[in-house]
Amino acid sequence: MATFIDLSDIPVIDNHCHAVVATQGADPVEWLQRFTESPDPAMGAEHVRHTVFYRRLMRRIAARYGLPVNDEAGVLAYRAQRGSAALVGELFPEARISGVVIDTGYPSPALAMRPADFVDASGAEYAALMRLEVEFQRLIALHADYDELLEAVRQLVSDVRAKGFCGFKSIVAYRTGLAIAQWDTPAAITAFQRARREVQSSGAVRLGYKALLDTLLHIAFEAAAEQELPVQFHVGYGDPDVDLRTSSPLELRSLFENPRYRAMSIVMLHGCWPYFREGAYLAAVYGNAFLDISYAIPFLSRAEMTSMTRSAFGVAPLSKIMYSSDAVSIPEMHWIGALDGRQVIGTVLGELVDAHELEVHEAREAGRLILNATAARLYGLTEAAA
Ligand SMILES: [Zn+2]
């Protein structure tokens, strides 16, 4: 019989996830659209119900709430009536989620549960990341002078822990791609002037000006190295705003090779799917590279999550891999991510035991690192006892 490493007693730190929305609506159109990265309404309306991920999620939620399988209307009515705080209060402790590292950029804080309410309901330790591009965009709109902008960015990224953040998050993959370059000042200023023209014509800027964005990111990376902060990068899978061709983790080479950034931990998110082999390789060759594997988003089958996990464990040190859900808005995603993540990780660790590569106690310890201890150390959260 195949060995399975039971990790259900290990509290998980969800090292990359998003806030739960304050109000859980019962509108099926909105609900279905949550389970696709596609902006095309036809995907939610016609195709989401035919994804393996959605079938698995709904089967498990319906069973959890004591409803018939595939009773979508029943599930929606039940959870809307229960409300966010009650759902979080049941599901987070049940999934033993002891800590969360929240990307505050999405959903909008105006729609999210207030952090204090979320902490009260979940009992989880809470840490937040500063979302760099959103802050840069805000500062570009405020400053007409380039040197003033640079000074404002330096202020922004100084003393980050005192400002209540445990690190940075970058969505440069959603803007100009991960091949972050060095630019001379005239090129950066030209890009800044174009960004300012966008501010003047539309009131805001979407930071698609590569020479400017790269330059501001380097200021943040210098600060991260100096303060020994982790930086999370969106890599690979996302909505079609991401050009998957320019969001391979291999594009991050110039950062990994830069000796000035050694003290900045680079966390490649959601297994870099579909580039998980590349991500695992980087975690194996660069001391400051960490691979996050998410178990709710991307919307994958169990088999595909298992395959990603196998590839990662097969090459990267098990001390360089961290669990997350990447769940957004609905607490059932944080919950199923933790339950299925432990299950998949326990299965793959069991395979390594059966292959005589790990002892059972070594597999257990690897599980503790992946689910909890490595993230606790990186983000400054409480570590579960060995
Ligand atoms: Zn995310």
Residue predicted with more confidence, 182 or 237: 182
Tell me what pLDDT residue 385 has. 86
Do the Cβ atoms of 230 and 165 come closer than 8 Å? no
Report pLDDT digits (tens) over 157-175.
999 999 999 999 999 998 9
Q: pLDDT grade, residue 149 (50/70/90)?
A: very high
Q: pLDDT grade, residue 353 (50/70/90)?
A: very high
CA dihedral sign of residues 71, 76, 82, 87: positive
Q: 60: closest CA among 271, 330, 329?
A: 330
Q: Residue 189 Cα, ligand 1 centroid: separation in angstroms? A: 31
- Residue 138: both structure tokens together: 């805000």
Domains in the chain, start-ordered, CATH in brackets?
Answer: 12-22+84-379 (3.20.20.140), 25-82 (no CATH)
Tell me what pLDDT residue 386 has. 82
Integer Cα distance of 288 and 285 in angstroms: 9
Q: pLDDT grade, residue 6 (50/70/90)?
A: very high
Report pLDDT digits (tens) over 299-317.
999 999 999 999 999 999 9
Report pLDDT digits (tens) over 82-110.
999 999 999 999 999 999 999 988 899 99
Q: pLDDT grade, residue 70 (50/70/90)?
A: confident
- Residue 222: both structure tokens together: 């210098």
Q: What is the mean pLDDT of residues 350-372?
A: 98
Q: Residue 235 Cα, ligand 1 centroid: separation in angstroms? A: 10
Integer Cα distance of 233 and 252 in angstroms: 10
pLDDT over 70, % of the chain = 100
Q: Residue 167 Cα, ligand 1 centroid: separation in angstroms? A: 14
Q: Assess whether the previous peptide bond of 68 is cis (omega < 30° from 0).
A: no
Tell me what pLDDT residue 240 has. 78
Q: Residue 326 Cα, ligand 1 centroid: separation in angstroms? A: 5
Tell me what pLDDT residue 198 has. 97
Q: What is the mean pLDDT of residues 287-301?
A: 96
Q: Residue 145 Cα, ligand 1 centroid: separation in angstroms? A: 33
Q: Residue 108 Cα, ligand 1 centroid: separation in angstroms? A: 13
Integer Cα distance of 189 and 56 in angstroms: 50
Q: Residue 215 Cα, ligand 1 centroid: separation in angstroms? A: 24
- Residue 314: both structure tokens together: 């097969």
Tell me what pLDDT residue 373 has. 98
Integer Cα distance of 220 and 239 in angstroms: 25
Give the chain's mean pLDDT: 96
Q: Which residue has the tokens 């597999």?
A: 363
Tell me what pLDDT residue 242 has. 82
Tell me what pLDDT residue 237 has. 87
Q: Residue 17 Cα, ligand 1 centroid: separation in angstroms? A: 6
Residue 46, Cβ neighbours under 10 Å: how many? 11
Q: State how far Cα 230 lies from the chain centre.
A: 13
Q: Residue 7 Cα, ligand 1 centroid: separation in angstroms? A: 24
What's the N-to-C CA distance of the chain in angstroms?
A: 27
Instruction: Give the chain as a 3 state SS string.
Output: CCCCCCCCCCCEEEEEEECEECCCCCCHHHHHHCCCCCCCHHHHHHHHHHCHHHHHHHHHHHHHCCCCCCCHHHHHHHHHHHCHHHHHHHHHHHCCEEEEEEECCCCCCCCECCHHHHHHHHCCEEEEEEEHHHHHHHHHHHCCCHHHHHHHHHHHCCCCHHHCEEEEEECHHHCCCCCCCCCCHHHHHHHHHHHHHHHHHHCCCCCCCHHHHHHHHHHHHHHHHHHCCEEEECCCCCCCCCCHHHCCHHHHHHHHHCHHHCCCEEEEHHHHCCCHHHHHHHHHHCCCEEEEEECCCCCCCHHHHHHHHHHHHHHCCHHHEEEECCCCECHHHHHHHHHHHHHHHHHHHHHHHHCCCCCHHHHHHHHHHHHHHHHHHHHCCCCCCC
Whether residue 272 has pLDDT greater than 90? yes
Integer Cα distance of 199 and 275 in angstroms: 35
Q: Residue 89 Cα, ligand 1 centroid: separation in angstroms? A: 22
Q: 241: closest CA among 298, 171, 181?
A: 171
Q: Residue 294 Cα, ligand 1 centroid: separation in angstroms? A: 9
Report pLDDT digits (tens) over 207-256.
999 999 999 999 999 999 999 999 999 999 888 788 889 899 999 999 99
- Residue 73: both structure tokens together: 């209307």
